[in-house]
Structure 1
């Protein structure tokens, strides 16, 4: 009996301690994420309707650039399978430009950049909370705050005209990823989210009679793909 106990103690001393999430646990993750807009823009057709003439190629659109940013999220495990995650990120600045306009009156051009703050709350289902490899799926809601929404025409018929992102955005979010549980509560995480984000874009200048007129309903709808580390508490 004494030999059995000693053998178990020796075996345990060489076994890594893996801390799996349980009800009431908190997990903090830090990720590097790439925010890649999947934009849908009807700029050309909308502008032509506003001015009552074909001044832009109908397929012309607003393009929004990718951005890599740090992301911090905090999860609370309601049960060992169900967790609520609040995703926090610094403002993500994206360059905005007109692309695909071959008509020449407005033309392809840079309009500046916008800064977006996208806090997101999701509820996740963890499939294998008691295993080293723990995949999950989640769904929730996003609220994107437009911190810096002012743009400006830089060429053609809208050179110097004011352009603005008109409104903040509420939208759903979907999520999938996995944790790899390590020793002492540490983990490696990979995660992908799709966020529905839409806003109106307005222009004020000579082509609109110096009044603010809507020129696009811009769906930014980014893919947010990240990898990082986390710690259970």
Structure 2
């Protein structure tokens, strides 16, 4: 279901064909330093294996995370760029519904390897909004069994790495004529993970989860 956004994203480059070029020159690089909020979902989409007998109405949620991030952007042309980001975000997984508050997974670290293609619109006065889209690959590591899951006999847990997709929108505003600017950015990721709880050598619980985070950033940009 989450990949239905592919058709929407495919139309993004066509939205600005008639828009004049922005002030960035082809070949220039822009680096952005952000404060970023990562706001995932984490709900259960499907239970694949259940040897512990989850009660009806069981659900999960992933905690939010606020971290510094860096984005590096290369301008292929004045109106088209490629951007990647660098960050890791820590999250816990907690129970919801009848499991409200249960500690299930602690300290899962996500490295969201992401590349977006962006089209920039020049609306005059230095204000340059953009739209983007691209692939992402979530690498998840360091996850630990939470206290309540351990009490049920779970000895270890694994969250699978997964390929997904991201849509992006934002804008840049120059603060001076030496390349310094203000940038606001929002991304919506469409990606999930499979959680596997083991009790010794036995798979006790395996479930598919929608992560699908909103990632909202604000910070400074420098172009050179």
- Does TM-score exceed 0.5, indicating one fold? yes
CA contact (8 A) 2:95 2:102 kept: yes
Aligned to 1:74: 72
CA contact (8 A) 2:45 2:210 kept: no
Aligned to 1:40: 43
Q: TM-score, normalization: structure 1?
A: 0.78
1:1-233 equivalences under 5 Å are 20-42=23-45, 46=47, 50-51=50-51, 55-89=53-87, 91-101=88-98, 108-111=101-104, 112-128=106-122, 131-154=125-148, 158=152, 160-183=153-176, 184-205=178-199, 210-233=201-224
Residues 148-186 of structure 1 show CA distances to partners (whole Å, capped at 9, x for unaligned) of 13324526961x412423421111111000000121111
Q: Write 1 or 2 for the structure with the bigger share of strand.
A: 2
- Report the Cα distance in structure 2 between the residues aligned to 1:225 and 1:197, rounded to whole angstroms: 16
CA contact (8 A) 2:42 2:93 kept: no
Which structure: larger Rg? 1
Question: Structure 1 pair 155/136, CA: closer, same or farther in 2 (3 Å)?
Answer: closer
- Report the Cα distance in structure 2 between the residues aligned to 1:191 and 1:95, rounded to whole angstroms: 24
Question: Structure 1 pair 84/129, CA: closer, same or farther in 2 (3 Å)?
Answer: farther
CA contact (8 A) 2:158 2:197 kept: no
Aligned-pair Cα RMSD in Å: 2.4
- Report the Cα distance in structure 1 between the residues aligned to 2:131 and 2:125, rounded to whole angstroms: 16
Question: Structure 1 pair 29/157, CA: closer, same or farther in 2 (3 Å)?
Answer: closer
CA contact (8 A) 2:154 2:204 kept: no
1:218 positional shift:
1.1
CA contact (8 A) 2:166 2:187 kept: yes
Local SS of the residue matching 1:78: strand
Local SS of the residue matching 1:58: coil
Unaligned residue ranges in structure 2 (runs of 5+): 1-21
CA contact (8 A) 1:139 1:174 kept: yes
- Report the Cα distance in structure 1 between the residues aligned to 2:146 and 2:192, rounded to whole angstroms: 20
Question: Structure 1 pair 116/84, CA: closer, same or farther in 2 (3 Å)?
Answer: same
Aligned residues: 201
Unaligned residue ranges in structure 1 (runs of 5+): 1-18
